[in-house]
Amino acid sequence: MEQIVKIQEAFIQTPLGITAIKGDESGIVSIYVLNSDTIAPSTVIPDCLETTIVQLQEYFAGTRKAFQLQLNPKGTDFQKNVWRELLNIPYGKTLSYLELSRKLGDVKAIRAVAAANGQNPFWIVVPCHRVIGSDGSLTGYAGGLWRKKWLLEHESPYKQQTLF
């Protein structure tokens, strides 16, 4: 008889808003930021989500540049290929949608690549925020462009100094 696994969920406060994390013992199925603060952070964290929360807190504290998590993505083979390629973009670096399409072997698939990027279920962990327009512009981001800008500045090796 097949065992039914219940997906666990936790909500944490981050500098960019409340973040929802869902998963079970076989891995994380999604991490996403809410566009509303109507949900309070969780007071009890399921064991299977502890590591993810610790690693996200370390990322926001500036002490983590890469994640070591068991991800359990749901999507098409094409989407999974795009998400795997996103993992190759180093912390503090960016890549254009065109360059990403080229790495995936088909520059004509740029729109499909952009769409798959936008469907990424693992906010920050699979760094879709590191993909920008060919002209360097901050284009498209499901969490809002202000969050994309914040994340890229957070990861930048060149911190803006205050003048006064």
Dump pLDDT digits (tens) for 63-110. Answer: 999 999 999 999 999 999 999 999 999 999 999 999 999 999 998 999
- 124 has a pLDDT exceeding 80: yes
CA distance 155 to 66: 11
- 162 has a pLDDT exceeding 70: no
Query: Quick one: what percent of the chain has pLDDT higher than 70?
Result: 93
- 164 has a pLDDT exceeding 60: no
Lookup: tokens for 40? 């309070």
CA distance 31 to 102: 27
Pairing status of strand 95-96 against strand 17-24: unpaired
Q: Which residues are catalytic?
A: 128
CA distance 37 to 13: 9
CA distance 99 to 93: 13
pLDDT at position 144 is 86
The count of C-alpha atoms lying within 13 angstroms of the C-alpha of 151, restricted to the half-sphere facing its C-beta, is 28
- 126 has a pLDDT exceeding 70: yes
pTM over 0.85: yes
Q: Which residues pair with 96 in a beta bridge?
A: 132
Q: What is the pLDDT of residues 18-60, one digit of tens each?
A: 999 999 999 999 999 998 878 999 999 999 999 999 999 999 9
The count of C-alpha atoms lying within 13 angstroms of the C-alpha of 149, restricted to the half-sphere facing its C-beta, is 6
